[in-house]
């Protein structure tokens, strides 16, 4: 059965300083000694969670995308995290899924954090990005999306002439700037998403204080499909690599075929 090796980077971010953040993250990525296939950065990794897109946004040919393309090629990895992007007159909190050959996919955060005014500055996305790596299907989402389980819910369909299901994804991935004061919700909901979707869940959060004096404790996690925590780190910078095994996932889904009892639904744009 296939494996997928993932490296998550939990780091402090210098407020609205792209040069400093990209330099620091580049050092961390280049220092990864293990063979890894996917490297995950936090939400708005080049700026922190800023509500000033008019000043900080780039287009899809800007320096941060070039930085991601160059590093992905140099390390032969998939590199992902979200950045502030402008298209025409709209601004997006956009997750980039950069492949080592320079091609990419992207996902625009659907659920904007109105509590902090994100809905006043950024346009909501309306389409999920489902991607595949070595036969692993992955659904990447962004921060506040975690609070809305319908957006991440599996919609399984039985395979023809089989007792097994064709599930939409194997890994659910969240990149975030999730504040320490709501860390209980972060940790609880990550485990809930793993259990209810019978998938690995990866949550990558930042640490440190942002420009609004909001503290972040990290609490980045990797969780198995039963909700067991495989990795967790709080209040410290860390670069952690873990190999996920498809046979473990398949075994859990066969042993506990809860997908058979799932409700059928559709999401309207």
Beta strand segments in the chain, E: 3-10, 38-40, 78-87, 90-98, 104-108, 131-133, 136-142, 157-158, 165-166, 171-176, 200-205, 207-209, 215-223, 229-234, 238-245
Has 109 been annotated as catalytic? yes
Percent of the chain with pLDDT over 70: 96
Catalytic residue selected from 109, 118, 168, 180 = 109
262 band by pLDDT with thresholds 50, 70 and 90 = confident
Nearest Cα to Cα of residue 135 among 258, 29, 37, 8: 37
Q: What integer is the mean pLDDT of 159-183?
A: 86
C-alpha angle 207-77-67 in degrees, rounded to nearest 5: 65
Write down the pLDDT at residue 112.
Answer: 98
Q: Which residues of 143-163 are buried (b: 16+ CB within 10 A; e: fewer)?
A: bbbbeeeeebbbebeeeeeee
Q: Which two tokens stand for residue 77?
A: 């990895």
Q: Which two tokens stand for residue 139?
A: 């659904």
- Name 46's Cβ contacts closer than 8 Å, sequence gap at least 6: 18, 21, 22, 64, 83, 84
Where do the domains of the chain lie? 3-259
Architecture of domain 3-259: 4-Layer Sandwich (3.60)
Are 42 and 175 contacting, i.e. CB atoms less than 8 angstroms apart? yes
> Which pLDDT value is given to residue 156?
77
Of the residues 143, 168, 180, 233, only one is catalytic, namely 143
Residue 43 among the catalytic residues: yes
For residue 175, what are the CA distances in angstroms to 83, 92, 103, 106? Answer: 11, 15, 20, 13
Write the CB contacts of 106 (distance below 8 Å, at least 6 apart in sequence): 85, 94, 95, 96, 97, 129
Residue 66 annotated in active site: no
Q: What is the mean pLDDT of residues 198-223?
A: 98
* Catalytic residue, candidates 43, 58, 168, 180: 43
- What is the C-alpha to C-alpha distance for residues 229 and 222, in angstroms, rounded to an integer? 6
pLDDT tens across 57-115, in order? 999 999 999 999 999 999 999 999 999 999 999 999 999 999 999 999 999 999 999 99
252 vs 175: CA distance, rounded Å: 25
Q: Is 0.85 surpassed by the pTM of this model?
A: yes
pLDDT of residue 95: 99
* Radius of gyration (C-alpha) of the chain in whole angstroms: 18
Give dist(CA 266, CA 249) in Å, integer.
Answer: 25
pLDDT over 90 percentage in the chain = 90
- Using alpha carbons, select from 232, 235, 173, 161 the residue that is nearest to residue 199: 173
What one-character DSSP code corresponds to residue 135? T
The residues, any chain, with a CB within 8 Å of residue 124's CB and separated by 6 or more, are 108, 109, 110, 111, 112
């Amino acid at each position: 059965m296939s494996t997928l090796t993932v490296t998550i980077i939990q780091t402090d971010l210098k407020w609205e300083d792209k040069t400093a953040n990209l330099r620091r993250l580049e050092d961390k990525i280049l220092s990864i000694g293990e063979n890894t296939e996917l490297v995950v950065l936090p939400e708005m990794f080049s700026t922190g969670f800023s509500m000033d897109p008019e000043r900080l946004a780039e287009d899809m040919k800007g320096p941060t995308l070039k930085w991601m393309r160059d590093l992905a090629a140099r390390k032969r990895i998939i590199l992902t995290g979200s950045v502030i992007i402008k298209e025409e007159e709209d601004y997006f909190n956009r997750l980039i899924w950069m492949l080592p050959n320079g091609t990419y996919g992207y996902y625009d955060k659907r659920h904007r954090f109105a509590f902090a005014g994100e809905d006043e500055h950024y346009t909501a996305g309306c389409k999920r990005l489902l991607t595949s790596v070595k036969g692993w299907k992955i659904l990447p989402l962004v921060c506040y999306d975690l609070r809305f389980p319908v957006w991440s819910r599996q919609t399984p369909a039985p395979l023809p002439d089989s007792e097994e299901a064709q599930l939409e994804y194997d890994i659910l991935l969240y990149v975030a700037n999730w504040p320490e004061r709501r860390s209980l919700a972060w940790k609880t909901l990550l485990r809930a998403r793993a259990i209810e979707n019978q998938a690995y869940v990866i949550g990558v959060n930042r640490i440190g204080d942002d420009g609004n004096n909001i503290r972040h404790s990290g609490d980045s996690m990797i969780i198995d499909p039963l909700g067991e925590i495989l990795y967790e780190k709080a209040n410290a910078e860390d670069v952690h690599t873990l190999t996920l095994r498809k046979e473990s996932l398949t075994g859990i889904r066969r042993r506990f075929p809860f997908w058979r009892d799932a409700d059928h639904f559709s999401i309207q744009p």
